[in-house]
Amino acid sequence: GDSVTQMEGPVTLSEEAFLTINCTYTATGYPSLFWYVQYPGEGLQLLLKATKADDKGSNKGFEATYRKETTSFHLEKGSVQVSDSAVYFCALSHSGGGADGLTFGKGTHLIIQP
Amino acid sequence: GAVVSQHPSRVICKSGTSVKIECRSLDFQATTMFWYRQFPKKSLMLMATSNEGSKATYEQGVEKDKFLINHASLTLSTLTVTSAHPEDSSFYICSARKGEKNEQFFGPGTRLTVL
C-alpha cells in the first residue's frame, strides 16, 4: 500500500536559517503530493501541493518539488521565522486535489528560536 | 474561508461507554467528510470516508460496528465510538471536502481518553 516517510523531529533552527524537511513516498501510479501545517490548537492547513512530476508547489516562502525519479517531495524555505514553528505533514492522494482520503507521514515538529 | 469544527475538543469516558464526536463544516456544504485517527508520534490514519445520505466507506482493518459514522446532513458528520476501551484512546480528526476547490479542510481534532 501507499506510505509516506518524513524526517522525525523535533527540528530546531534559529531564525533566518535555511529549512529542509525530507519526505519520500511509496505509491502506485502517479499520486498528488501535499504539505500540510498544523499550528498549536488548530486543524491541519494545506501549505502547498504538486499534482505531477517536476511540479513545484510554493506558498508563504515554502517550496517543494515533485521528484518522481527519487519519489521525494522535500519541503524547503530559505529563511525561517519564529511564526513558522508548527508541525508539518507530508501527504499523498490519488486524486488531484486531495479529494480522496490522504496518506500522511508522521509529521515533523519544527521549532524556530529567535 | 472554509472552517471545520469538532465537538468536543476533549473527552474522557469510562471503559464500556459510547462517545459521539461531531464534525461540522461551518461555512460550506460538504457531501464528503473524512475521519482520521492519530496515535502519538504516528501519522494520521484514514479510518473512513463519510458520504452524505449513504453508508460510510471504511478502510481495511477499521471495525465499522465499533466506529459508527453518520453523515445526516451536508454540514454534519458524527463518529460514535461504541463500547470504548482504553486502546481506543487517541486523537480523532475529521476533514470536509469543499466541492469547487476539491480540497480537504480539517477540524482541530478531538482527544479521546478512555479510562
pLDDT in tens, B58-93: 999 999 999 999 998 999 999 999 999 999 999 999
Three-class secondary structure assignment of A52-98: CCCCEEEECCEEEECECCCCECCEEECCCCHHHCEEEEEEEECCCCC
In this prediction, residue B2 carries a pLDDT of 85
**Inter-chain CB proximity B49 and A96 less than 8 Å:** no
pLDDT in tens, A19-53: 999 999 999 888 999 999 999 878 899 999 999 99
In this prediction, residue B31 carries a pLDDT of 86
Residue A44 near chain B (CB below 8 Å) = yes
Provide the 8-state DSSP code for A101.
P
Q: Locate B62 and state its grid cell.
A: 477499521
Whether the ω angle into residue A10 lies within 30 degrees of 0, i.e. cis, is: yes
- Which residues 21-80 of B have a C-beta within 8 angstroms of A? 32, 34, 36, 41-46, 49, 59
The answer to whether residue A74 scores a pLDDT higher than 80 is yes
Mutant choice from A23, A36, A104, A108 vs B, greatest count of B C-beta within 10 A? A104
Among candidate residues B90, B71, B80, the one with its CA nearest the CA of residue B18: B80
Q: Residue B101 — very low, low, confident or very high, per pLDDT cuts 50/70/90?
A: low
In this prediction, residue A99 carries a pLDDT of 64
In sequence order, the 6+-apart residues with CB closer than 8 A to the CB of A79 are A16, A17, A18, A61
Q: Are B46 and B103 in contact, with CB atoms under 8 Å apart?
A: no
Nearest chain A residue (CA) to B59: A101
Q: Locate B4 and state its grid cell.
A: 471545520
Residue B10 near chain A (CB below 8 Å) = no
Residue A42 near chain B (CB below 8 Å) = yes
Size of interface A-B (CB pairs under 8 A): 53
Residue B106 near chain A (CB below 8 Å) = yes
**Average pLDDT over every residue of A47-73:** 96
In this prediction, residue A98 carries a pLDDT of 56
The answer to whether residue B8 scores a pLDDT higher than 90 is yes
**Inter-chain CB proximity B95 and A44 less than 8 Å:** yes
